Amino acid sequence: MDLSSYTCELCILQKMLNVAYIFLRCNFPKACWNSIGILVITTRPILQIIRQIKNKLTVPFFMEGIDPSVKMCKSKFKYEFSLLLHGARPALVPSMNVWLHTL
């Protein structure tokens, strides 16, 4: 994706964006985690941070154990895109639907 900037717009540090920064290391997501009682120690490796969050949440559900596959990703994308059709401009729905069914 071509963006005008690849730095974080949510904080004053203007760090380069990556998944870890967007979800764990920026001050904004840290505040979000903190609001539900999770203190994220960002100097740890990502997998260790995720395990820490899982252990702290102590809930009977968590996203794990699903091996990623192109087929599963494509299926999920098609499902999510089909939900967008409900909010799309009516004039665009037919062409969006045709495109979706060609995938």
Structural domain of residue 60, as residue ranges? 19-102
Within-domain flag for 8: no
Determine the pLDDT at residue 95. 94
pTM for the model stands at: 0.50
Res. 96 pLDDT band, cuts 50 70 90: very high
Within-domain flag for 87: yes
Higher pLDDT residue, 99 or 15?
99
How would DSSP label each residue in the chain?
Answer: ---S--B-SSSTT-PBP-HHIIIIISHHHHHHHHHTT----TTS-HHHHHHHHHHHH--S--S-S----HHHHHHHHHHHHHHHGGGS-TTTHHHHHHHHHH-
Q: What is the pLDDT of residues 54-64, one digit of tens each?
A: 888 888 776 66
Decide if pLDDT at 70 tops 90.
no
Determine the pLDDT at residue 97. 93
Within-domain flag for 50: yes
Decide if pLDDT at 2 tops 70.
no
Domain count, the chain: 1
Within-domain flag for 52: yes
